[in-house]
Chain A
Amino acid sequence: MDLNLTLLGEMITFIILILITMKFIWPPLVKVMEDRQKKIADGIAAGEQGQKTFEFAKKEASQLLVKAKQDSAHIIDQANTRSARIIDDAKAESRHQGKQMIEAAQTEIEQQVLNAKEKLKQNVGNLAILAAEKILEKNIDRKGHEKMLEALISTI
């Protein structure tokens, strides 16, 4: 172990090595490593953000689906009630019309019966007059016996 001037030479060599490492080797490597760290952190953050957005969208979609189902059920309900009402209405209308028609027919029948009765009365009157003429063999003045005739007819 003998120390000599090599010591100084090695010190200079060592210091030069340190300086070059400090200037040209360490900074770019550290910088790039930090950049990559940041990149990866950003990527992870973006991934998490995407996941969040995806979950939000999923939730929203399921909410929309539920709402759509509710809406469709509602619409179907409405349609059902409406169709039931329409059918009911139509039934009521048809019943009403049928009743009206029946009523009209009845009134007509009654009218015709009345008419027939009227005619019959007249015919009976006439027949009575004819029969009386035959019996009396002379003309009966219709005018003169009007009152009696009417009374007679009304009794029929």
Chain B
Amino acid sequence: MSFWHPTEGQYIQDHLMHYQLNLHTMTIGNGGFWTLNLDTLAVSIIVGVVFLSLFWLAARRVTSGVPGKWQNFVEYLVEFVQGLVNSSFTGKTTLVGPLALTIFVWVFLLNFMDLVPVDVMPAVLSFFGIHDFRGVPTDDTNLTFAMSITVFLLMIYYNFAGKGTLGFLKELTCFPFSKWLFPINIIFRLIDDCVKPVSLSLRLYGNLFAGELIFVLIALLPWWFQWTLGSVWSIFHLLIILIQAFIFMMLTIIYVSMAKTSHDES
């Protein structure tokens, strides 16, 4: 337990507080909707830049001859993602592949922040006068919803692009029941589509929030006992963050391809 937290409850609460900027007063603090979570934004942008520059490094010096180690790894990832996209997405696309790769790598790296010991980032930043810094952006519903809403917008786009406006409207009103029950059909479709982004984002958020919380609880144990549960949970969590990144990517591919293909074809 860190010395600047008087009680255990306070310690946990401090770890669940965001470093926020109130846009009304331009001061640190919560300002309702007009608030920026600076910790989420900063870590996600830094991680995004790291992801882009690492992959750009591979893409810049890419060669069709014998690939280097890094290029090999990146190519393996690209091929893996491309295989998943090709197996579920019908037709050619220049967007879904990069989208899936971005989601997979970015989400994995953001989740990976969870494996940084819970007190390292707050402790370091407290020297600069920054308190209540949450280092895992995927712990923040703002990020997970931002991603799932973007995916949702893409789903709407593909609904129109893949079937045409008439086809989309027909599907909206005449499926799964006959056209005479179109109000029920529309409601069904609305629920069906709106559940997708919500479940997508809450699944990731829930997993990472739980993981972070358990790390915080482990940090409350006596220092000579922390390594036992800490190492076990870290190994288990390594699996979880990879699986969550994969699930988010895979479901995105599936949702987008479902939106594109009409039910008549399948």
Contacts and interface: CB of A to CB of B under 8 A. Distances in A.
A49 B106 CA distance: 45
A3 B40 CA distance: 12
B44 A33 contact: no
A17 B59 contact: no
Interface in A1-60: 1-11, 13-18, 20-22, 24-30, 32-33, 35-36, 39
B71 to A, nearest CB: 8
Given A6-B140, A20-B52, A28 B36 contact: no
B63 interface: yes
B62 A21 contact: no
B98 A18 contact: yes
B95 to A, nearest CB: 6
B146 A10 contact: yes
B34 A11 contact: no
A1 B64 contact: no
A24 B74 CA distance: 14
Contact of A5 (B23, B52, B98): B23
Nearest to B65: A36
Given A5-B33, A5-B34, A29 B143 contact: no
Chain A contact surface mostly: helix
Contact of B146 (A8, A27, A28): A8
A6 B64 contact: no
B239 to A, nearest CB: 25
Contacts of B56: 24-25
12 contacts: A2-B141, A4-B37, A5-B34, A7-B149, A17-B106, A18-B98, A22-B99, A25-B56, A25-B58, A29-B58, A30-B78, A32-B63
4 closest A-B pairs (Cβ-Cβ)?
A10-B146, A6-B142, A35-B64, A22-B98
Interface of B: 20, 23, 30, 32-37, 40-41, 44-45, 48, 51-52, 55-56, 58-60, 62-65, 67, 74-75, 78-79, 82, 94-95, 97-99, 101-102, 106, 137, 140-143, 145-147, 149-150, 205
